[in-house]
Amino acid sequence: MITLLEKAKQYTNNVAIISNEKQYFYRDLINQSDSYAKLLLNGDKDLAEARVAFMIQPGFDYVKVQWAIWKAGGVVVPLCLTHPFPSLQYYIEDTQASIIIVNAIFAPLFVDYCKENRIRLIIVEEENTIIETAVPSIDLSRAAMILYTSGTTNKPKGVVTTHATIEAQIISLVEAWHWSSSDRTICVLPLHHVHGIINVVGCSLWSGAICEFLPSFSEAALFNEFSKGAINVFMAVPTIYFKLIAFFEKLPVSEQEKIKTAMQSFRLMVSGSAALPVTVMEKWESISGHRLLERYGMTEIGMGLSNPYLGERKPGYVGLPLPGVQVMLADEQYQAAAIDEPGEILIKGDTVFTKYWNNPKATEEAFTQNGWFKTGDIAVIENDYYRIMGRNSVDIIKSGGYKISALEIEEVLRTHEWINDCAVVGIPDEEWGELIVAALVSSNPMLDTVQINQWLRTQMAAYKTPKKYIILNELPRNAMGKVVKGDIKKLI
């Protein structure tokens, strides 16, 4: 049976979830997901890995439905709450989902579509007839979830993970980050990404801890929850920390002190899903008293590297391999890179996904002949710690015969007092191969890019400095706060 669901029986009298100001115990989650699994089965013995798409707001109902799909033998396909219907339609049709479950607020998007395509539509808030039937026994080797990659170059690919994969990902993090039943976290992350699903919800419920949900992100609401003094684990993306810092700095001193005091009792604060600017890490540490733990992961592998829970957390580094994860840096022939030389991160282990959904060619291309997954991310090891230089195709700029890390340039630019945010990209150029271009966000209407470039040359080698600059009001980002560099290239 699925270990995550079985472990919940150890904590029946513990509070599992807090959402919409209501507490739900583990026994509530067990019983209600059992009933919902029977609803999904509708008299059948097993969904037999049928894909079930669902679009449900964060909270108890989300987890109840997720667990019910697993208990009934289905594969969960969580949908993004903010995507336009054409994007949702792509995920539904690509997975050939036979059931769609939604909150009533989203139902109008799907009613006509489901009728036309003979897809069973279930609305969470409506009463449904349940046919009593036995819930099947589910082997860990069966497919459990399909999450979609961001699709920056081609159509998004469906990443298939089994129950065993999910279990391995959770166990690795529970061990590394010292989760226990005394923890209480709050989820502010989208629940169609591995970060929120595994790192926050999965790890907390595996451990018998409490997972609280905010219906939508709000700096004021989040700090209010922090101030109550019960939450001790928090995970977010750099964009959220940036917003929290900006909000905090505008608060009265008395409010700031109250929040500071509350945050000192936290056990762990984590940042991931995008590179954490050192400036943000330092500001957050001055506010909270905590040095953020930065880690590295992706949809296909869960988490692969992490700064230590106990030990030095180095700014600008993503740490060391997590338990159960094998990591190798490889050259362009996928052989081990020379010591001290950058290389592509290759990952192997039980935490790695099974395949891309209905895409055997992409699956084959994603792995080396001896089974290493090619992440496409370039890193270097410095004093045993891994430092990400960027994505092979996005953040590594080949200019004038050099391989240049866009992330390194961005990190230096962010230290300038005039620059609030930035992104560096490479644009095809006959002379240079790729031209280094920086997109800047600044609160200074008189920003002088000539002065910026002159200053930058005092901070780093001249060949790494941008040849061109553009000024933007804000950088284009996806749901997880990652800068969409393809959109910036289009602007240029």
Q: 406 and 380 share a domain?
A: no
Report d(CA 344, CA 322) in Å as an integer: 17
Instruction: Select from 190, 269, 273 the least CA-distant residue to 235.
Output: 269
What is the pLDDT at residue 384? 93
Report d(CA 201, CA 39) in Å as an integer: 24
Instruction: Select from 77, 82, 68 the least CA-distant residue to 97.
Output: 77
Cβ atoms of 348 and 366 within 8 Å: the answer is no
What is the pLDDT at residue 253? 95
Three-state secondary structure string covering 140-186: CCCEEEEEECCCCCCCCCEEEEEHHHHHHHHHHHHHHHCCCCCCEEE
Specify if 169 maps to a domain. Answer: no
Greatest Cα pair distance in the chain: 73
Specify if 195 maps to a domain. Answer: no
Q: 478 and 444 share a domain?
A: yes
Specify if 450 maps to a domain. Answer: yes
CATH number of domain containing 52? 3.40.50.980
Residue 399 belongs to what H/E stretch?
Answer: strand 396-399
Write phi, then psi, for 466 (nearest 5 degrees).
-60, 150
For residue 94 the two structure tokens come to 């690509």
Where is the domain boundary, 391, 413, 441?
A: 391
This prediction's pTM: 0.86
Q: 321 and 220 share a domain?
A: yes
Beta-carbon contacts of 58 under 8 Å, excluding residues fewer than 6 positions away, are 19, 187, 191, 213, 214, 215
Report d(CA 66, CA 74) in Å as an integer: 9
**Distance from chain centroid for Cα 155:** 19
Specify if 453 maps to a domain. Answer: yes
What is the pLDDT at residue 44? 95
For residue 40 the two structure tokens come to 């999904």
At 444 the three-state DSSP class reads coil
Where is the domain boundary, 339, 374, 391?
A: 391
CATH number of domain containing 405? 3.30.300.30
Q: 381 and 238 share a domain?
A: yes
Specify if 218 maps to a domain. Answer: yes
Domain count, the chain: 3
Q: In what order do the strands lie in the sheet with 320-321?
A: 22-25, 15-19, 210-213, 184-187, 233-236, 268-271, 293-298, 302-306, 320-321
Specify if 106 maps to a domain. Answer: yes
Q: 367 and 256 share a domain?
A: yes
What is the pLDDT at residue 150? 64
Where are any strands of DSSP class E within 284-372? 293-298, 302-306, 320-321, 326-330, 343-348, 355-356
Report d(CA 212, CA 225) in Å as an integer: 10
Report d(CA 322, CA 170) in Å as an integer: 11
Q: 367 and 419 share a domain?
A: no
Q: 336 and 446 share a domain?
A: no
Quote the domain boundaries for residue 368: 181-188+202-352+361-391
CATH number of domain containing 372? 3.40.50.12780
Q: What is the pLDDT along the chain (492 residues), one digit of tens a residue?
A: 789 999 999 999 999 999 998 999 999 999 999 999 999 999 999 999 999 999 999 999 999 999 999 999 999 999 999 888 988 999 999 999 999 999 999 999 999 999 999 999 999 999 888 888 889 999 999 999 999 986 544 678 999 999 999 999 999 999 999 999 999 999 999 999 999 999 999 999 999 999 999 877 899 999 999 999 999 999 998 889 988 999 999 999 999 999 999 999 999 999 988 778 888 899 999 999 999 999 999 999 999 999 999 999 998 899 999 999 999 999 989 999 988 889 999 999 999 999 999 999 999 999 999 999 999 999 999 999 999 887 777 788 888 767 788 888 998 898 898 998 999 999 888 667 789 999 999 988 889 999 999 999 888 878 889 999 999 999 998 877 788 888 999 888
Q: 225 and 298 share a domain?
A: yes
Specify if 327 maps to a domain. Answer: yes
Beta-carbon contacts of 358 under 8 Å, excluding residues fewer than 6 positions away, are 94, 158
For residue 36 the two structure tokens come to 């919902």
Q: 379 and 251 share a domain?
A: yes
Q: 259 and 372 share a domain?
A: yes
- Alpha-carbon dihedral of residues 365, 370, 374, 379, nearest 10 degrees? -150
Three-state secondary structure string covering 182-207: CCEEEECCCCCCHHHHHHHHHHHHHC
At 313 the three-state DSSP class reads coil
Q: 325 and 462 share a domain?
A: no
**DSSP assignment, residue 241?**
H
Report d(CA 58, CA 44) in Å as an integer: 29
Specify if 162 maps to a domain. Answer: no
Q: 286 and 382 share a domain?
A: yes
